[in-house]
Amino acid sequence: MTRWSLRTRMLVLSALVTLVALGLAGWTMAGVLDRVVTGGVDQRLDAQLAVLASAVRGDGSVDRDRLAARQGALAAGPGWRWRIEGPRETVGSADFPTLRSPFPGPVDIAPGPRPPAPLDGEDAKGRIHARRLVVESSAGPVTLTAAAPGRVIGRPIRDALVPLASVIVALALIFAIAAWVQLRFALRPLAALVAQIGAIRRGERTAVDEAQPAELQPLAAELNALAAANAATLAAARQSAANLAHALKTPVATLALTVAPDTPEATQVRRIEGVIRHTLARARAAAVNRRASTAIAPVARDVAGVLGTLYPGTAMRLEIAADARIATDAHDLAEILGNLLDNAARHARRTVVVSSAAEAPDRIALTIDDDGPGIPLERREQVLQRGVRLDEGPAGDGFGLAIVRDLVALYGGTMTLEESPLGGLRVRLTCPDGATA
């Protein structure tokens, strides 16, 4: 199930609120306009009722001469109508429509003057709006009615609502743009926090900035606490492995002094030492920092410098890009290169070459070449087994390549043995690129 992003949710919520608010504002303004326009028409109709009332005599009859003299005040335009209904006669527009009260209920029959009452109706051309006034005479009540066509109310409202609708649409667009800009800036600290977490994962930093907006400060603090706890756990595991290695090295070294070299006993001691090293390397799997990123060149220079003093007759050439990085802890990379360069220098005639190259957008290849005798193709897989050696010299325990392969695998890499262009062995490591880890 696809979940909406925070930006999408907030934009949709903002759009809904904006539409509801603008719709309510438009509806309110339309109601106000209707009342204003209707009030203006009612004033004109009440003025006509006053003219009609002035033409009614005390006995309920209609003064036609007076009515004719004020006919101009009654002729407001096409569709305007009037009527006088008295006890003796009815005078008015011939096509007067049927009208009804917009407020259903009992008729007010209380004595005394009453204000004009609103009426509604329809004719062939549409809505009719009217006002009715009842005046008393000696002969009985006289009903005066003045009516106006509905268009005199609807047209001004439509004329006002068209630009009002345009303003509402423009406001909706402005609010939408403002909401988008606001969310873009409001969510920027969250995007920066995500980038900093990625930098922690790549080993480029150890904590996120806690100078965050108030809503994100608790999250930043918890993330830093989590990173610190993870680092402490990793350090404790590494320290435990180091303590175990230190505790076992002294007894094994003491045991090695009690046996003569080049004897079966010495061979077994070396095998015990190799087993210890290999077992410790496997135990480090739980403590591997897969977020690490290490520059290759400085570590390779340090290892080559140490081994150069042990093998002065072997030239070690480094062809590593200055910005090449590998997703491996610096201590583990030093152990990997130490085992491989020691093995290469021990078998090389004159030269060992260490080089790096980009293998893919997220992989890097590290190769160690020597000009020694090499390893036959059918024996290469065999030497990767624990404790297996092809040479009969006293140095080495047969665990170096196996330890390197296990360490490389812990970081998601692979190790292969190939024929070197120098004539000897090429060890090829393909590992995650530390620059993109």
pLDDT digits (tens, 9 = 90+) for 114-172: 788 888 888 777 888 899 999 888 888 999 999 988 888 888 888 887 888 888 888 88
CA distance 186 to 179: 10
Phi, psi of 77 (to 5 degrees): 155, 180
pLDDT in tens, 389-402: 445 444 444 456 77
**Class of 288-432 per CATH?**
alpha beta
Q: Is the pLDDT of residue 326 over 80?
A: yes
Identify the CA nearest to 148 among candidates 13, 44, 281, 24.
44
**Selecting from 3.30.2310, 3.30.450, 3.40.50, 2.60.120, what CATH number does the domain 6-101+113-157 have?**
3.30.450
pLDDT of residue 430: 93
User: Which tokens in the block code for residue 376?
Assistant: 């036959």
CB atoms within 10 A of CB 55: 20
Kindly give the residue spans of alpha helices, DSSP state H, lying in 216-351.
217-257, 264-283, 296-310, 330-347
| 302: confidence class by pLDDT, cuts 50, 70, 90 | very high
Which amino acid is present at 244? L
pLDDT of residue 425: 93
b/e code 333-349 from CB counts within 10 Å (16+ = b):
bbbbbbbbbbbbbbbbe
CA distance 224 to 220: 6
What share of the chain has pLDDT > 70, as a percent? 85
CA distance 30 to 40: 15
Which amino acid is present at 60? G
Q: Is the pLDDT of residue 320 over 90?
A: yes
What share of the chain has pLDDT > 90, as a percent? 16
pTM of the model: 0.44
**199-217: average pLDDT:** 83
pLDDT in tens, 50-103: 888 888 888 888 888 888 888 777 777 788 888 899 888 888 887 787 888 766
pLDDT of residue 171: 84
269's CB contacts (< 8 A; 6+ apart) are 252, 255, 256, 259
Domain ranges of the chain: 6-101+113-157, 288-432
Q: Is the pLDDT of residue 244 over 50?
A: yes
